Amino acid sequence: MALDLSAVGAKTDVYDYPYDWKILATYALGIGAKKDELAYVYEAKGPKVYPTFAVVPSFGPMGEMVGKTQGSLASILHGGQSVRIHKKIPSEGVAKTVATLDGIYDMKKMAQAIVKTKTEIGGELIFETESSIIFRGEGGFGGAPPPKQAIPEIPDGMKPSWTHEETTSPEQALLYRISGDQNPLHADPDFAKMVGFPAPILHGLCSYGFVARAVILKALGGDGDRVKFYSAQFRKPVWPGETIRTEGYDLGNGVTAVKAYAADRPDPVIARAWVEASAS
């Protein structure tokens, strides 16, 4: 089925997503939160909100926009993600989200769809997201290439300012999908094999959350409210049960560049990634 380029510019109606401490705690546990991060998982100590929770209210409207592309759902991979936080995310509320299909681009062998969302809570713009959705085998249609993105560069020879290792559980994807990202690729062994993987893989957005937590724990004193922007590209799959090693590079002015690796494999699973944070 050919991609429907005429769908570019389509916009959803408002999606309402009510949430409370239980939803926040489930998300935090899904991205690996531990008992030492009690303010994120226990209502009497917060609850604080990890900034990457911003992706959760976007699942529904983003899915609608992906459907508008007419691309094959069996060929989908999540290529990259960014979140921009405008104001502190409340501990409970109703997230009102609108998504736009911002573009469909030709990557020769693959196609890329960009979906952007804006979310208001209590009448105020709280956060925005941008998702890069990859359709394997659906490129070569003569469209424009993806626009280039300005990404902070890690100077040659610079060593990491810090390293953080954390092991995912074998059930990590099953826990993370409760937050709403229910692609069977992350749960069903038969489906995973059908689309070319030997077993279910961890959600890119789950790895994305693990890496954000690493930055927050190692560079921001555990305070996720300091994160203003976070962008990452997903390069390789992570298998549930593997250890994620995150390397952080302090570039100054509140910018931390990051790379993440899984197990002992040499190629990064997350790259071209950085966090912009406010001063403490």
- Dist CA 229 CA 151 (whole Å): 12
The DSSP code sequence of 157-223 is: TPPPSEEEEEEPPTTHHHHHGGGS---GGGT-HHHHHHTT-SS----HHHHHHHHHHHHHHHHSTT-
Catalytic residue, chosen from 180, 204, 248, 254, is: 204
| 186, 203, 216, 244: the active-site residue | 186
3-state secondary structure of 48: coil
Identify whether 71 is a catalytic site residue. no
Contacts of residues 222-227 at CB distance under 8 Å and 24 or more positions apart, as own/partner, are 222/37, 223/280, 224/40, 224/48, 224/49, 224/50, 224/51, 225/48, 225/49, 225/51, 225/88, 226/277, 226/278, 226/279, 226/280, 227/51, 227/85, 227/275, 227/276, 227/277
- Rounded CA-CA distance 209/133 in Å is 17
Question: Can 244 be counted among the known catalytic residues?
Answer: no
CA distances from 62 to 69, 93, 140, 253 (A): 11, 20, 24, 32
Cα Dmax for the chain? 55
Q: Which two tokens stand for residue 92?
A: 């409970």
Q: Could you say which of 79, 139, 181, 209 is catalytic? A: 181
Question: Active site includes 60?
Answer: no
Number of helices (H) and strands (E) in the chain: give both, helices first: 6, 10
Catalytic, out of 76, 114, 201, 216: 201
Query: Is 186 annotated in the active site?
Result: yes
Residue 33 structure tokens = 């939160």
Active site residues: 181, 186, 201, 204
